[in-house]
Structure 1
Amino acid sequence: MANFAKSTVPRFSVEVFQNEHLPEEGREVNAIVTVTSTGGGTTGGMPIPAIPAPAPAPDQDGGPSPGAAVVIMVDCSGSMDYPPTKMRNARDATAAAIDTVRDGVAFAVVAGTHKAEEVFPGEGRLAIADPATRARAKDALRRLRADGGTAIGTWLRLADRLLASADVPIRHGILLTDGRNEHEKPEELRAALDACAGRFTCDARGVGTDWEIKEVTGVASALLGSADIVADPSDLAALTADFTRMMENAMGKEVADVSLRVWTPLGAEVAFVKQVAPTVEDLTDRRAEAGARAGDYPTGSWGDESRDYHLCVRVPAADVGQEMLAARVSLVLPQPDGGLPAPLAQGLVRAVWTDDMVASTAMNPQVAHYTGQAELAQAIQQGLDARKAGDMDGATAKLGRAVQLASASGNEDTAKLLAKVVDVVDAATGTVRLKAKVAEADEMTLETRSTKTVRVKK
């Protein structure tokens, strides 16, 4: 992506939480890596090298706006007309999101059916946000009509072409759909996601209950965005609030393409890297080699925020009394000239072998918590899959375990969603009964939000 000015780079910090003690011959080291970014132009006391960039346009508050481009993709397939309020509310929610686009930000609106059409500004380009262009964009929205099929891959490819025309660091998409991707093959959507990955981030939303969860969450996962459901398409307030929140979040991003770089010494290897807060996302297979014994894992765009990552490293077995650096975790930022990435922050993961059983068997609270949160997400998915397959005993066992984990970790939002699918007899033991009747919207909401986690209680 494009250059950015020094003033757009926040400060990054890295904290490592782990039990560094291993039993004799122990080989697996687990750590939670907390990455936090706050606004500023230096990191770790070291200035980020200034990189020439066009002067940013002023935002609506008169201050500089970080270079950003946003494309909103609105499902305009025929199903959006059932009921008619669905299309109308989608237009109104998109208009509210456009009102949130800051002056100087490049943006466009795409109508998605079995093809993709740029409805504003047109001619394969982006508009620069100001009062006049926002008004014209909202006028274009009023002309949107529901007709045609659904081919999400074509929407994403058009968004990619539009975003690629902008010389900005932050490129983001927002995608709204109400139906299944019936007018292209699964492999075509997969190819589109592979082509767009790393080029822009994207939030995806499903409206109503006729869309495919794995398609919407798959878009968000591949493009490092968020996925959620607006179950009631007639609830304009909920849809508008969600669209506005997504756009405000996009406007808050300050730096793109930050990677989590993990270096391991000779004989050690990364078992997995997972984002575990605010959502669970396995990054292991997205590793890009970064020199001898180092690999980069994409984290997307950052504003003022904090995220947690679970790193598991396998080290060579060693004798009691020995210690080693198991991994060095860094945040790095690529340079537009192809030079060495700029380091933003760093943390160390250690291994110390001991014959003290108390020390070696104690689990770090952060590691224990997020191991449970990852299991919670998996238990929900497995429980719902078993329920759909008619395996009621399996569904009861898995969803009961999910209730137990949600209760123990204080994940109240997930606990409330589970209570709409099962009758909780005893949360502490995970004793539940499957509800005889479950609203489809409740089941879809639970599945869509199953990967959302809570942080360790202080």
Structure 2
Amino acid sequence: MSGQPEFVAEVDQNEYLPAGRRIVDAIVTVTASGAGLRGGGTGALSAAEVIMIDTSGSMNVPQSKIQEAKRATAVAIDTLRDGVAFAVIAGSAHARMVYPGQPGMMAANPQTRAEAKQAVSRLRAEGGTAIGRWLHLANHLFAHQPAEARHAILLTDGQNAHETPHDLQRVLDSCEGRFVCDSRGVGDDWVADELRKVASTLLGTADGLEDPAELPAAFQAMISSAMGKSVADVALRVWTPTGATVRFVKQVFPQVEDLTGRRTEVSARIGEYPTGSWGAESRDYHVSVELEPQAVGEELLAARISLVAADQVLTERLVLARWTDDEELSTRINRQVAHYTGQAELAEAIQDGLKARDAGDVETATAKLGRAVQLATESGHTDTAKLLARVVDVVDAPNGTVRLKKRVSGVDAELTNVRSVKTVRVKKTQD
């Protein structure tokens, strides 16, 4: 049917295994395209949007933070499609409705947009920060909305100082699967681990912005992406044969996200992993399966991987395993698998290195961050290499030789952390 989204999947793997080998790794690239996925058209999902703006006292230091946050919120409101239900929340140590004035949501139209922007313009910065309370109110608003795509933006400039990590986790657990949330930090006092936790649990993205003037463009991009979603509640379905074990399922592009623990059992041999809503985009997944070894010359279907929505199969590909005594075949390295294995290791090395640095463990921090520099250099991840150069002095990038910088601004470390999960693609070449 014309205008309907079209999903296409490709599999990259080395299907040849040496005798006795159990592990099969495959990279599944899924691309969604079609007229119905080009944002705002007839194929777009019904949508609801909640914008959570930090209005704690620190947003006044400098005052450009609250001013640009208000400007960004106005831009976001103008970017909403007509008819989209929306609300704005002011967040401090408490959560307060900005628009509408009482808990609820309004349909976007010229009048409600003007009213909302007027209400936002009157915001003042005062008080503390309790992100979980903002999310709790957003969850309450979404609970009364039948929209197919429910999306939120959370902006903060500080640490989540007015509630415990347990409080935040409890709220995130209650929100999981209810809506998608993109989290952003602005200024130099936000915490990357907190932003990544919100985004990871709620299938969104996390990032930091050093300059408040970047906020309007960032908000517009997030809303445009949300408005372009055309297929909701999409899952990656993995079938494996009797005796097989799924070792892990990870999204590896555009960012690393381990989905393994989110498996929903469909049957003894089928599990589903949530991927959220889709627009016109492409994502890569790394699926690793452990099999019972077969005799040399035998072939086995290692996995059947499908993308499904509302129990309809959108696309499907097979992962094969063939046992061989041909060493040339079995030792061939698949570039896609090797690349993304390195990208996942890169994210882990950065996070572990920064954690060791904060704990005063210079030896571990130097080793981990040195390995991160080496991996970033090998994979051509120039953006990450530049960020790492803000926290270490690079002596020899190809060998991962670095020295920790004696003085590092907090925002440099947090930016390196929050962007650690972003990945780059390797150019495909013919084997």
TM-score by length of 2: 0.95
* SS of corresponding position for 2:161: coil
| Residue 189 of structure 2 corresponds to residue 210 of structure 1 | yes
Q: Provide the C-alpha distance between the structure 1 equivalents of 2:403 and 2:157, rounded to a whole number of angstroms.
A: 31
Matching residue of 2:92: 113
| Residue 222 of structure 2 corresponds to residue 246 of structure 1 | yes
Aligned partner of 1:149 among 128, 135, 141: 128
| Residue 410 of structure 2 corresponds to residue 407 of structure 1 | no
| Residue 81 of structure 2 corresponds to residue 102 of structure 1 | yes
**CA offsets 1:104-163 (integer angstroms, 9 cap, x no match):** 211110111222122112332211112221111110101111222222122112112212
Given that 1:65 and 1:104 are in contact with CA atoms closer than 8 Å, whether structure 2 keeps it comes out as no
Which letter maps to 2:148?
A: P
Matching residue of 2:103: 124
Q: Larger deviation: 371-380 or 383-392?
A: 383-392
| Residue 185 of structure 2 corresponds to residue 190 of structure 1 | no
Given that 1:11 and 1:40 are in contact with CA atoms closer than 8 Å, whether structure 2 keeps it comes out as no
Given that 1:153 and 1:188 are in contact with CA atoms closer than 8 Å, whether structure 2 keeps it comes out as yes
CA displacement at 1:198 relative to structure 2 = 0.9
TM-score by length of 1: 0.89
Matching residue of 2:320: 350
Which letter maps to 2:234?
A: V
Matching residue of 1:171: 150
Question: How many matched pairs?
Answer: 428
Given that 2:151 and 2:179 are in contact with CA atoms closer than 8 Å, whether structure 1 keeps it comes out as yes
Aligned partner of 2:301 among 325, 328, 350: 325
| Residue 276 of structure 2 corresponds to residue 300 of structure 1 | yes
Q: Provide the C-alpha distance between the structure 2 equivalents of 1:9 and 1:384, rounded to a whole number of angstroms.
A: 45
CA displacement at 1:40 relative to structure 2 = 4.7
Which letter maps to 1:368?
A: A
CA displacement at 1:97 relative to structure 2 = 1.5
Say if 1:79 and 1:41 are closer, same or farther in 2 by CA, change over 3 A: closer
Which letter maps to 1:178?
A: D
| Residue 253 of structure 2 corresponds to residue 283 of structure 1 | no
Matching residue of 1:19: 14
CA displacement at 1:240 relative to structure 2 = 1.6
Q: Provide the C-alpha distance between the structure 2 equivalents of 1:221 and 1:239, rounded to a whole number of angstroms.
A: 21
**CA offsets 1:208-262 (integer angstroms, 9 cap, x no match):** 222222111100000000000012xxx3431222111111111111111100000
Given that 1:9 and 1:254 are in contact with CA atoms closer than 8 Å, whether structure 2 keeps it comes out as no
Q: Provide the C-alpha distance between the structure 2 equivalents of 1:345 and 1:378, rounded to a whole number of angstroms.
A: 31
* SS of corresponding position for 1:80: helix
Q: Provide the C-alpha distance between the structure 2 equivalents of 1:9 and 1:160, rounded to a whole number of angstroms.
A: 30
| Residue 137 of structure 2 corresponds to residue 158 of structure 1 | yes
- Gapped regions of structure 2 (runs ≥ 5): none
| Residue 395 of structure 2 corresponds to residue 425 of structure 1 | yes
Say if 1:352 and 1:105 are closer, same or farther in 2 by CA, change over 3 A: same
Say if 1:431 and 1:185 are closer, same or farther in 2 by CA, change over 3 A: closer
Aligned partner of 1:93 among 43, 51, 72: 72
CA displacement at 1:265 relative to structure 2 = 0.8
Matching residue of 2:25: 30
* SS of corresponding position for 2:233: coil
Q: Provide the C-alpha distance between the structure 2 equivalents of 1:437 and 1:84, rounded to a whole number of angstroms.
A: 27
Say if 1:358 and 1:63 are closer, same or farther in 2 by CA, change over 3 A: closer
Q: Provide the C-alpha distance between the structure 2 equivalents of 1:8 and 1:66, rounded to a whole number of angstroms.
A: 13
* SS of corresponding position for 1:373: helix
CA displacement at 1:41 relative to structure 2 = 6.4
Given that 2:45 and 2:232 are in contact with CA atoms closer than 8 Å, whether structure 1 keeps it comes out as no
CA displacement at 1:61 relative to structure 2 = 8.0
Given that 1:31 and 1:311 are in contact with CA atoms closer than 8 Å, whether structure 2 keeps it comes out as yes
Matching residue of 2:353: 383
| Residue 213 of structure 2 corresponds to residue 237 of structure 1 | yes
Given that 1:108 and 1:127 are in contact with CA atoms closer than 8 Å, whether structure 2 keeps it comes out as yes
* SS of corresponding position for 1:145: coil
* SS of corresponding position for 1:132: helix
Which letter maps to 2:260?
A: T
Which letter maps to 1:344?
A: L
Aligned partner of 2:247 among 252, 260, 271: 271
Say if 1:381 and 1:11 are closer, same or farther in 2 by CA, change over 3 A: same
**CA offsets 1:373-430 (integer angstroms, 9 cap, x no match):** 0111111112112221222222222111111111111111111111112222222212
* SS of corresponding position for 2:231: coil
Q: Provide the C-alpha distance between the structure 2 equivalents of 1:303 and 1:346, rounded to a whole number of angstroms.
A: 18
What percent of counterpart residues are identical? Answer: 60
- Gapped regions of structure 1 (runs ≥ 5): 1-5, 43-58, 335-340
Q: Provide the C-alpha distance between the structure 2 equivalents of 1:121 and 1:380, rounded to a whole number of angstroms.
A: 42
